[in-house]
Structure 1
Amino acid sequence: MGECRMQKMLAFLSLMLVTLPPIYGWGTDGHSIICKIAQTRLTEEAADAVKQLLPKWAEDDLGSVCSWADEVKFRYRWSSPLHFINTPETCSYQYKRDCKDEDGEAGRCVAGAINNYTSNFSPTILPQIKLNPLHVGFASDKGGNTIVVHWYKTKQVLHHVWDTNIIETAEERFYNSNVDDMVDAIQQNITNEWADQVKRWETCSLNKTACPDIYASEGIKAACDWAYKGVKEESVLEDDYFVSRLPIIYWRLAQGGVRLAATLNRIFG
């Protein structure tokens, strides 16, 4: 597979993964969890296409490539605005108002990137998709990146708490730091507790390949309702915050996996 095709595939995957509640996207484990869930839900055609596009070093593991865009955004600095959406301090999202970069160029946000990758997709090129609550956050604090808090005894920014800390704490406490066990637990919820929601997560109106405006609207709502709520500079976030927010993390990771699979199935179906 050519390097250009592989990079475009990895880019698409990374963007699709941001579709969840955190402000700028998940950390490494969050991305991996979403892709592992998605890979189990691919149709035969989609699974074969993804297998053909994955680099050999991935050993057919979609989860191993899903943090690519986060890793290369420092090399390809033009891509940085494609990882997030900044809104004014309002708990709503509007594409025309919010999807632009710091220079005001329209379409330069994660929703615009998803639209672009999926609309210009051909069977030989795979895009990327991702969304976490603080990847759709307030411009004033850069999606929680300037809000300094304490995660138990460790100083962090709020964005990192949602990207990484909540997930890693859950892995350590409940899954012996085994990410695959956490994936299994989320998949059981998809099959059982959330089974009646799955069809809605998978569906896009007007025969669209992906629905980033829906994902972004959900993201800013989750950011307001859960990430920002009750938090101020130097807040100490401990068990009350962790226990109440963890179900939202599970739910958004599940949505991301289901939606990524549905998007790839539509592309390769």
Structure 2
Amino acid sequence: MGNISCSGVCFGHNSTWSSCLEQRRPYHDLQNSTGMSKSPLIWEIDSKKIVQIIYGFKVFSSLLDAGADEAMKNLLPDYVKGDLSALCIWPDQIRILYKYRWTSPLHYINIPDNKCSFVYSRDCHDSNGVQGMCVAGAIMNFTSQLLHYEEGTDDPPHNMTEALLFLSHFVGDIHQPMYVGFAGDEGGNAIALRWFRHKSNLYHVWDKEIIVTALKDYYEDNLELLLKDIARNYTDGIWSDDVPSWSHCEDLYNCVNRWAKESKQIACKWGYKGVESGMTLADKTIQLCHIYTQSLLNSHLQELNCTDSPQL
């Protein structure tokens, strides 16, 4: 299959876009190119979704070394004052615009039904079969674009700011299990159910409900307290021994494939297991609480009584 150009970005069978020239715009003109307001307070998007994404970006930014942190701040618009989390939802906002509709399939991977594995050649494509058009391919290709930053040219071949925002967002997407869900149910979107007292679907439960419920019940909606607990997990807590491995990736293809496989396995083991359309997930509270506690909360919160159902 030959290369296919999408809004100035090239997709090919070898999952590299380095041979293509993206549209050249001023790096710091994001609000003009997307219609985005400078103020996050008036962005028209679910505030709970903002909470869910921002915590990840703040943690990510805190792990950068000095050189990477400087490069990131150089690429961000001045009005965000070096805060990557201020633009963390940009890729979700612009995908509804005609100019950026081609980016929609870059947020997820559709796995054949009942397959609890990820095979890049089989699974990483859009509905038209274009290879590389999935979140795994996007991570590799935007990483390739950002490598041009080191060249230090005044006229780089790609929009580095957009590449940064896409890459950081998609690394978050690939770690959400239902973004590597089954094609038949659209990653859980087609599995309607109730999350305790209100209607939802399996995708939204994993995309925001678990985090928002825990934020309310365990932190009184104080995001900063949640962030501090997460930070303690990787400074001297349950993740501290893993942090060095997060900073190194000898082979990007293998790393991205491993992330997708891990998310698919979690989706099969925890996301889909025992779930049927129309059910209420209150009977899975114990499982979900333990998963969340182990993954996000500090060790002192592991003594919480997970049999108590959160009240929404």
TM-score by structure 2 length? Answer: 0.69
- What residue in structure 2 maps to residue 167 of structure 1? 211
Q: Partners in 2 of 1:202 and 1:139 — Cα distance?
A: 32
The 5-angstrom pairing of residues 117-266 of structure 1 reads: 117-121=142-146, 122-123=148-149, 125-126=160-161, 127=163, 128=167, 129-130=170-171, 131=174, 132-191=176-235, 192-206=237-251, 208=252, 211-238=255-282, 239-247=285-293, 250=296
- What residue in structure 2 maps to residue 39 of structure 1? 61
- What residue in structure 2 maps to residue 91 of structure 1? 116
Q: How far is the alpha carbon of 1:209 from its aligned partner?
A: 8.8
Q: Is the 8 A contact 2:52 2:212 kept in 1?
A: no
Amino acid aligned to 2:68:
A
Q: Partners in 2 of 1:141 and 1:158 — Cα distance?
A: 10
Q: Give the SS at the match of 1:141.
A: coil
Greater shift, 153-162 or 189-198, is seen at 189-198
Q: Is the 8 A contact 2:124 2:131 kept in 1?
A: yes
Greater shift, 26-35 or 90-99, is seen at 26-35
Amino acid aligned to 2:247:
E
Amino acid aligned to 2:49:
G
Amino acid aligned to 1:99:
C
Q: How far is the alpha carbon of 1:5 from its aligned partner?
A: 3.2
- What residue in structure 1 maps to residue 93 of structure 2? 71
Q: How far is the alpha carbon of 1:145 from its aligned partner?
A: 0.5
RMSD: 2.3
Q: Partners in 2 of 1:186 and 1:135 — Cα distance?
A: 22
Q: Partners in 2 of 1:74 and 1:59 — Cα distance?
A: 26
Q: Is the 8 A contact 2:140 2:256 kept in 1?
A: yes
Q: Partners in 1 of 2:25 and 2:55 — Cα distance?
A: 25
Larger relative contact order (CA 8 Å, sep ≥ 6): 1
Q: How far is the alpha carbon of 1:198 from its aligned partner?
A: 2.1
Please say if 1:81 is aligned against 2:90.
Answer: no
Q: Is the 8 A contact 2:49 2:208 kept in 1?
A: yes
Q: Partners in 1 of 2:66 and 2:226 — Cα distance?
A: 25
Q: Give the SS at the match of 1:155.
A: strand
Amino acid aligned to 1:107:
G
Q: Is the 8 A contact 2:27 2:77 kept in 1?
A: no
Q: Give the SS at the match of 1:103.
A: coil
Greater shift, 184-193 or 96-105, is seen at 184-193
Q: For 1:53-105, what per-residue CA distance to the aligned partner results, in whole angstroms no more than 9, with x for missing partners?
A: 22233232211111111111111211100000011121100000000001111
- What residue in structure 1 maps to residue 127 of structure 2? 102
Q: Partners in 2 of 1:58 and 1:210 — Cα distance?
A: 33
- What residue in structure 2 maps to residue 57 of structure 1? 79
Q: Is the 8 A contact 2:106 2:134 kept in 1?
A: yes
Q: Partners in 1 of 2:207 and 2:266 — Cα distance?
A: 14
Which structure would you say has the larger Rg? 2
Greater shift, 225-234 or 193-202, is seen at 193-202
Identity %: 36
Please list every run of 5 or more consecutive structure 2 residues that lacks an aligned counterpart in the other structure. Answer: 1-23, 31-47, 150-155, 298-312
Q: Is the 8 A contact 2:109 2:124 kept in 1?
A: yes
Q: For 1:144-165, what per-residue CA distance to the aligned partner results, in whole angstroms no more than 9, with x for missing partners?
A: 0100110001010110111111
Q: Partners in 2 of 1:242 and 1:211 — Cα distance?
A: 27
Distance change >3 Å, CA 3–CA 210, structure 1 → 2: farther
